[in-house]
Amino acid sequence: MAPSGPGSVRRRCRRVLYWIPVVFISLLLGWSYYAYAIQLCIVSMENIGEQVMCLIAYHLLFAMFIWSYWKTIFTLPMNPSKEFHLSYAEKELLEREPRGEAHQEVLRRAAKDLPIYTRTMSGAIRYCDRCQLIKPDRCHHCSVCDKCILKMDHHCPWVNNCVGFSNYKFFLLFLAYSLLYCLFIAATDLQYFIKFWTNGLPDTQAKFHIMFLFFAAAMFSVSLSSLFGYHCWLVSKNKSTLEAFRSPVFRQGTDKNGFSLGFSKNMRQVFGDEKKYWLLPIFSSLGDGCSFPTCLVNQDPEQPPTPAGLNSTAKKHEQSCIDHGE
């Protein structure tokens, strides 16, 4: 077994550090459960009916919060399939050719049978030197994961995972249920919070849990509402966070709404056709993550029709690389 070098030790240390935000959220969630279910509902509430109703509603939101958070964290991001990887002969050719037109000609030949319509700002084939593959549409290289991620949205430190095609729906539900969780706590805790300030509560440790619980729930409600609202807007426009910061570039120019199919179809791209699964953290997004329909009419004549096995009527367009997503 080869000895571990300094680089290997640093990588392992970074992996541990990346879990700190997740541990923080988990500890905060554990405390909120104790503060709400035990100190507020069981200790402070005197009305049995109110106790039962609050505990039932709370545990429902708590379960959906945990479920969606777990799925967001532990669903592996999808990477491009092997058809997008260069063959050994193509890699040899690419290494021999200098950067420039000859280099691009090798990539064009390799991509001629692929449903690739996006390009770089200069009109070149989008190629990842790290992964040695031709990037599918909307795919980007994550500098944290050191992998190409299908339909990458962003790398989220709060889930220690890339948010992309495979878990974007879970991420949205995580935001939605965490927001509902905080709003519910703030709303049901409000009257007891007021009693705290008017000395209407007995002088026990419960009163301090009630006070801090309201402050935490109210604070997170504000931040989560803005983040959730932003991602709802992205879904309605069928954009990723990367595409919102830098619009896709098509052969005829930049089109910030190139992937938008209309509100209803945009929603189905993320949540799927079966509405019974929309509110559950179960994968139901449309497509395979490698090709996507667009609103563009004119398809690139140099590209073949999209294979039937790929869910796409994708048209020509270009897109550049951004920070965590190249």
Q: Which are the catalytic amino acids?
A: 156
Rounded CA separation 55/36 (Å)? 9
CA distance 42 to 11: 46
Instruction: Kindly state the tokens that stand for 10.
Output: 């640093």
Give all strands (DSSP E) within the chain, no chain letters. Answer: 127-128, 133-134, 140-142, 147-149, 154-156, 161-163, 249-250, 253-254
Q: How far is CA 254 from CA 180, 231, 243, 316, 318, in A?
A: 37, 22, 11, 12, 8
Residue 13: Cβ-neighbour burial (10 angstroms; 0-12, 13-18, 19+) = exposed
Q: Which residues pair with 154 in a beta bridge?
A: 163
Contact call for residues 311 and 286 (beta carbons, < 8 A)? yes
Closest to 138 measured CA to CA, from 168, 157, 160, 117: 117
**CA 207/CA 200 separation, integer angstroms:** 10
